[in-house]
Structure 1
């Protein structure tokens, strides 16, 4: 069975995200976390590479970050030289991997997590069970024991309904996605990733406002291009309608995962691809893999995972 090429984002975080006002004792990090944080005496990114390599099915593995920073990595990975925003780094990673692995699904993760090998096996198994799909992005179930999150407990969480007859469950974003690049509106996704990252620690209402201000003009411009190309100008309406429905149901804590998958498909999958492959879904499973949600944003989180700068 084919392995999944994987790019680990290792770009800069030199402007740390704004933390919630209720967390005044936390100290945000501002550094190249994959290289500057150390785990067991080596780069954090090298530990992450080793964990992925311990699970057959992931790879080959690449680092998407500045070559000058990761030249000292002992992970024996090719470096995709990039150091822009999250969206720009994802763009560089996908463009490089498409050249080397054309037609294959591609995985993207971040350098500041330390999932356990058992969690990586679980994720691979769930993804294979969900294939074929245009994109696969897991949400991580928050455990009932609040102490399990430790220093990561401040992170904003959302509530979704995993399946029919289930109660809403709290989830955190999983820092991994597997995508079919040929299926997706990549330029839109790069923009959305930048907005999501800049607003990652804000309340939902604030994130929605930023998204609307930033994206409406871009969407209208793209629809004008569609008109010029004798295509229907439906992008703005489709994206905004689906995005606002997601926000409204999240606020009500009543968003079924099945609906979330349909809304995300409407937003991110190209219309032509949807017509050609009407049954290929977006999959957003709720998984028990807490290591995937514990991304290091603060000095306190770094210490709790056993890393140091």
Structure 2
């Protein structure tokens, strides 16, 4: 197991380096000049543009820029944001907490609710309850996340006026302690609900299909013929088979947890990394984009290793050498 973790770690590290280099060239070769965007459209002086290019090192050949960026990245310096004129690590650090709060809460809720409903529907296969939950799952699976978020804003914020429309907290109130957390929770309800509802159908269908597939296997029929209770069969044999694909999907969703809820953050003006990434893309903020993509690639590599380790604990048949 230790050798496997070491090999996967080295493979993940190599993948991160390759992705970092590819992202560097793709971002820098994309149309658009961040310096001219920063300078504005109202007849910016060429002298100012040249000085800004020197400041951010964009006047150098691209291979020299790459070497310089790799050296600074190894030292933990992701550079200076062109758009915000702040260190990239500071910007990512300020937005990482809100993103993790939103995305992790939504992912866990989707996992629990979707898997639970999928198992329940499979155990009542062919019934009206199965048809009802399947129809609801298909309905939410067909909804774009930004549209669902806007509908929630119209219903609960504009019409009913019971929940805030945007932001993470009420900036006009100086809450501290318990009132502060209550205010954050109130602002969290709509974006988390939106994010979890669009993920629930994936876990629902996965759990439902897996339960139906496993319960139709010959070994389950044999256990039933010997008089073993359905509850014992499910808890001992079926549940582990349901968890394996669910853990895979959940691990992949956690790998993209930093930027996976970018649209939701934009709709609800949530101050997260996903929204920061979209702003960086629109303004061609090279250092900020590179920093966000680096964090994303590292999280993907880490979560793939963690998922494989969890696999081994869930199913004893899986042993890595």
Same fold (TM over 0.5): no
Which of the pair is proportionally richer in strand?
A: 1
Structure ID, larger Rg: 2
Which of the pair is proportionally richer in helix?
A: 2
- TM-score normalised by L of structure 2: 0.24
- TM-score normalised by L of structure 1: 0.24
